[in-house]
Structure 1
Amino acid sequence: MKEITMPVKWVLWIMWLIVFPTGLLIAYQISPIPDLDWRIALSLILLAVISAYLPFKVDHSTIFIIHWINLAAFLTYGLFYEMILMQLVLIPLLIRSKITLKTLYRFPLNSTMFMLISLLAGMIFYSTGIGSADGFWALVFASAIYIFIHIFANHVYLFSFNRLIGNKYPFFSSDTKLDYAATMLSMPFGLALYYLLQSVGPAATLLLGIPFLAVTIILRLYNTSEKVNNDLAKSAKIGHQLTERLNVNEVLDLFTNKLADLMPLDYTYILDVNTKKNELILLRRIENGQLESNNLSPVRKGEGISGKVWGTGEALLFNKKKDWIEEVEGYIPSDIESIICVPIQRNKRTVAVLLAASKKKNAFGTHLLAILEILCSYLAIAMQNARNYQRNVKRSERCALTGLYNFRYFDEQLSNEFSRLEQGRMNALSLILLDIDHFKKVNDTYGHQSGNDLLQELAGLLIETAGREALIARYGGEEFVLLLSDKTKEEAQSIGEKIRAVIENHQFEIQHDLSQNREITKINMTVSIGVASSPEDTDSAKNLLRNADRALYIGAKQKGRNKVAVYSK
């Protein structure tokens, strides 16, 4: 929903200053108040105010059923009294809708709307010439028109205003239809109240008002319990969906998206417990529906709202800024009003913290604490499962010694990239095969563990030199392979030469395990490199690897080592 600009607010107040006194004057001229029974007049006002303060929700619709009361007031004392009653009802309506200084423009907006709609409905009713003396069914027909005009004009007025300020809503929605149905069904109560007032006086408001308010309260309670049940069902469904994800980012994305569907959220923060540093690290930051960078400072245990929830393991709920403003330390957006913060626990230990917030006051019901605790337990399990899975995948894809990809993973990627090449999604695919010269001599002279140290250091050099341009894997033993997507043979040869020179000029630090003192020793190493490319050299992934191997041994090893050789047919 778009913000109302200050010029629009001024226009609304100016319109109200014109329409309000003018409307009252016209109404008084059309239908001056007859002799009032002040008991009836006050009982109608009291009933209308209480009804306005006790709406009930169905799905996403807030239903205020008060038109039956203003119908009875209109039939009893005419248009001017009904207009006064509706203006008085506006006060509890706005209070119930949580009006603030920022949204004070809603008073002139709604007051003007009530005034114009009352005038329109009253003038159409009077123009029919139907009164209570014209028969019961004639009055029923006129009352139905009166009620319909109220609800339809209200709908058109608000729809037009929203369109003017840039909010595009459909003219008819399920919520709108429900509002129409509830309002029209209330008409018989208005007629019944009108006839009872004539017969028994102010007691009629008790005879009809008390049962009506009782039903409203029961519906409110039923809807609340129904909402809790629906939210529990949704949380269970979300929980199952979370546990199906095997990637941590996918788990977090699904959780934050579903949370926004479940609650009126403007801000969502998920903070992970770093046990080594004893602080909360930001994992996910959603602000106004947008994913933001995790560049906020870590939070210590006991600091601010999230730090206190981490420290105590107890959830916190605030529905007004004044309730939490003194609790805050560090970053928090200035337009937040409601905050709900819940520990994410696994095995009764807090492993992360969820902080969700809304710009609205009283945005979160207390039942959401229990819902969020259930969801957060699902989140903790899903994140742990995803981390375990990713850890296992990494182990299955990586060489345990060097941390580079293993040959099995490399072989899969080679097939995938070759498919891309065949589909025309890149122009060339090149491969570098690298072998350490005289590596057996290192093992025999310094020990096998020293050889392992050298392999690890060499893997780091390969990543530094070509990690951005190639997928690097350990081929086996002292051999390494680099896959270069969309690189020609000449480009691959240049990268190979760069790698060869870096290794030749590097001094490797290893421990001399076979000496008496096991001292740290610096040695120099060289490598031989073979390069092949497709489609220039072959149209087969397997042959690409064989061609690079042939270039390595025939073109580099047999010609003196410490060379880069390219395959030639």
Structure 2
Amino acid sequence: MKEVNKTVKWVLWIIWLAVFPSGLYFAYQVSPLQEFDWTIVISVVCLAVISAYLPFKVDHSTIFIIHWINLAAFLTYGLFFEMLLMQIVLVPLLFRARMTFKTLYRFPLNSTMFMLISLLAGLVFYQIGIDVSDGFWPLMLASGIYIFIHIFANHIYLYVFNWIIGNRYSFLSSDTKLDYAATMLSMPFGLALYYLLVLLGPAATLLLGIPFLAVTLILRLYNTAERVNIDLAKSAKIGHQLAERLNVNEVLDLFTNKLAELMPLDYTYVLDVHTNRDELVLLRRIENGQLEPNNLSPVRKGEGISGKVWETGDAMLFGKKTEWVEEVEGYIPADIESIICVPIQRDKKTVAVLLAASKKKNAFGTHLIAILEILCSYLAIAMQNARNYQRNIKRSERCALTGLYNFRYFNEQLEKEFSRLEKGHMNALSLILLDIDHFKKVNDTYGHESGNDLLKELAGVLIETAGGDALIARYGGEEFVLLLSEQTKEEAQMIGEKIRCAVENTIFEIQHDLSKKREMSKIQMTVSIGVASSPEDTDSYKNLLRNADRALYIGAKQKGRNKVAVYAK
């Protein structure tokens, strides 16, 4: 929804200043308010004001059914009274629609619209030439035309205005059709109110008004209950979808996307509890439908809205800025009005916090707290399951000692990359096999645990030296293997030489477990490296590994160690 600029707002006020007094004057000339019963006037005004303040919702449509009352007012006292009534009704309508100072332009917009539409509908009614004394059916036909002009002209007026300011939408949406149907169906109530006013006076507004308002309230309650049931069904469906995701980012993406479908959201923040640092850290940040970086400062327990929700474990709901502005500490967008903040709990313990916000006032119903608490419990379980799954996957893929990939995972990736090579999706695939020179001597001198420490340190050197270019795995014992996609044999040889030099120039620090004092010792070591490539050397992924092994032992180990050797046919 595009905002109305200042120029358009000033134009609306200027038009209103020109139309309002002249419109009232013209209406009075056409249909002056002469003899009238003050009790009837007051009762009709009261009924209209109450009806305007009690709309009901069907799906996402807010319906104000007041045209039946202004029809009765028009038939009873003419155009001038009906026009005055519509201007009075405008106040509770805008108040109920939560008009702010920023949207004050809606008053001249709607006031002018009501006045022009009343004039158009009244003049057409008079031109038809049907009088209230002409009988029921002619009056019903004229009344139907009068009501239709009201709703159709209202539709055209708002559509054209939105088109001018750049808000384009379907001319005849489902909400518009619903508004047409509800307004036209209210026309018989307007005729009935007119006849009863003639017969009973102000008592007619009670006779028809009370049942009508009661039905409106029942529809509101029914729609609220229906909305709760629908949202509960949606939350259960979302819960099942979350349970199917086994990646934390996928879980968060699905949750925030579905949340935006469930609620009128402009901002969504998911904050994770870090108990070791006693703070909330941002996991996901959605602003105006866009994923933003998680670069906001952490929140301490008890600080701001999310910090208090973490501390108390209780949800918080605010309908407008004045309610929460004193609660806020740190970052929050200036255009937020409504806020709902819910703890994400697992086993009755808060593990994260959800803060959702809207630019509209009173955007969230109180029933959404219960819905969100259910959804957040699904989220907590889904995230934990995804983290456990990813942790287990990592364990199954990684060497427990070095943190590098294990050979089983490496072999799977080698097959996949070789398949890509065979299908022409890459031009070269190279492999580096590395072995520590005289590693047995390290174990015999310093102890096997010290040897393990050395393996861990070497893994760090490999990651630092070639981690950006290669998939690195522990082949077994003191051997390591690197898979290089889209790297030729010459490029792989250069990377191997870079690794060899890095290892040779590194001083490794390990504990001397076999000495009495178990002091820290500094040692240096070297590695021998074999390189093979495909399709240059072989067309089989198994042979690629064998060729690298052959280059390692024949080309490097047997020729003095601390060398990089390439496979030669």
For the aligned pair, the TM-score class normalised by the smaller chain equals over 0.9
Structure 2: distance between partners of 1:395 and 1:271 = 27
1:420 is matched with which residue? Answer: 420
Shift of residue 25, structure 1, vs aligned partner: 2.2
Secondary structure of 1:558 counterpart = helix
Shift of residue 516, structure 1, vs aligned partner: 2.4
Shift of residue 26, structure 1, vs aligned partner: 2.2
Q: State the Cα deviation string for residues 179-236 of structure 1 (Å, max 9, x = none).
A: 1110010011011111111222221111111110111011111111111111111111
Structure 1 stretches (4+) deviating beyond 4 angstroms?
Answer: none
Aligned positions of 1:456-495 closer than 5 A: 456-495=456-495
Structure 1: distance between partners of 2:324 and 2:380 = 26
Q: State the Cα deviation string for residues 409-434 of structure 1 (Å, max 9, x = none).
A: 11111122222223333221111111
Question: Comparing 183-192 with 132-141, which one deviates more in the overlay?
Answer: 132-141
Question: Comparing 480-489 with 399-408, which one deviates more in the overlay?
Answer: 480-489
Structure 2: distance between partners of 1:38 and 1:98 = 31
Give, as a single letter, the amino acid of the residue that structure 1 aligns with 2:242.
L
1:302 is matched with which residue? Answer: 302
Structure 2: distance between partners of 1:538 and 1:121 = 88
2:264 is matched with which residue? Answer: 264
Matched, 1:115 2:115: yes
Secondary structure of 2:78 counterpart = helix
Give, as a single letter, the amino acid of the residue that structure 2 aligns with 1:409.
Y
Secondary structure of 2:472 counterpart = strand
Structure 1: distance between partners of 2:108 and 2:539 = 76
TM-score (norm 1): 0.98
Shift of residue 65, structure 1, vs aligned partner: 0.3
1:537 is matched with which residue? Answer: 537
2:101 is matched with which residue? Answer: 101
Structure 2: distance between partners of 1:520 and 1:497 = 29
Structure 1: distance between partners of 2:143 and 2:309 = 57
Fraction of identical pairs, as percent:
82
Shift of residue 380, structure 1, vs aligned partner: 1.1
- Number of aligned residue pairs: 569
2:276 is matched with which residue? Answer: 276
Q: State the Cα deviation string for residues 260-303 of structure 1 (Å, max 9, x = none).
A: 11112111111111111111111111111111111111111111
Q: State the Cα deviation string for residues 485-543 of structure 1 (Å, max 9, x = none).
A: 11111111111110011111111111222222222111111111111122222222222
Structure 2: distance between partners of 1:357 and 1:290 = 14
1:346 is matched with which residue? Answer: 346
Matched, 1:508 2:508: yes
Aligned positions of 1:141-540 closer than 5 A: 141-540=141-540
Aligned positions of 1:55-94 closer than 5 A: 55-94=55-94
Structure 2: distance between partners of 1:10 and 1:315 = 42
Give, as a single letter, the amino acid of the residue that structure 2 aligns with 1:445.
T
2:549 is matched with which residue? Answer: 549
Give, as a single letter, the amino acid of the residue that structure 2 aligns with 1:15.
I
RMSD: 1.3
1:7 is matched with which residue? Answer: 7
Shift of residue 159, structure 1, vs aligned partner: 1.2
2:131 is matched with which residue? Answer: 131
Structure 2: distance between partners of 1:448 and 1:213 = 86
Secondary structure of 1:400 counterpart = coil
Shift of residue 132, structure 1, vs aligned partner: 2.0
Structure 2: distance between partners of 1:427 and 1:158 = 61
Aligned positions of 1:38-57 closer than 5 A: 38-57=38-57
Secondary structure of 2:268 counterpart = strand
Structure 2: distance between partners of 1:30 and 1:144 = 21
Secondary structure of 1:483 counterpart = strand
Structure 2: distance between partners of 1:331 and 1:545 = 54
TM-score (norm 2): 0.98
Structure 1: distance between partners of 2:488 and 2:227 = 62
Structure 1: distance between partners of 2:31 and 2:415 = 87
Secondary structure of 1:334 counterpart = coil
Structure 2: distance between partners of 1:171 and 1:34 = 41
Give, as a single letter, the amino acid of the residue that structure 2 aligns with 1:283.
L
Shift of residue 563, structure 1, vs aligned partner: 1.0
Structure 2: distance between partners of 1:469 and 1:326 = 52
Secondary structure of 2:15 counterpart = helix
Structure 2: distance between partners of 1:39 and 1:302 = 57
Structure 2: distance between partners of 1:420 and 1:235 = 42
Structure 2: distance between partners of 1:259 and 1:324 = 22
Shift of residue 148, structure 1, vs aligned partner: 0.9
Structure 2: distance between partners of 1:447 and 1:333 = 59
Give, as a single letter, the amino acid of the residue that structure 2 aligns with 1:180.
Y
Give, as a single letter, the amino acid of the residue that structure 1 aligns with 2:463.
I
Shift of residue 120, structure 1, vs aligned partner: 1.3
1:563 is matched with which residue? Answer: 563
Gaps of 5+ in 2: none
Secondary structure of 1:356 counterpart = strand
Secondary structure of 2:243 counterpart = helix
Structure 2: distance between partners of 1:398 and 1:37 = 89
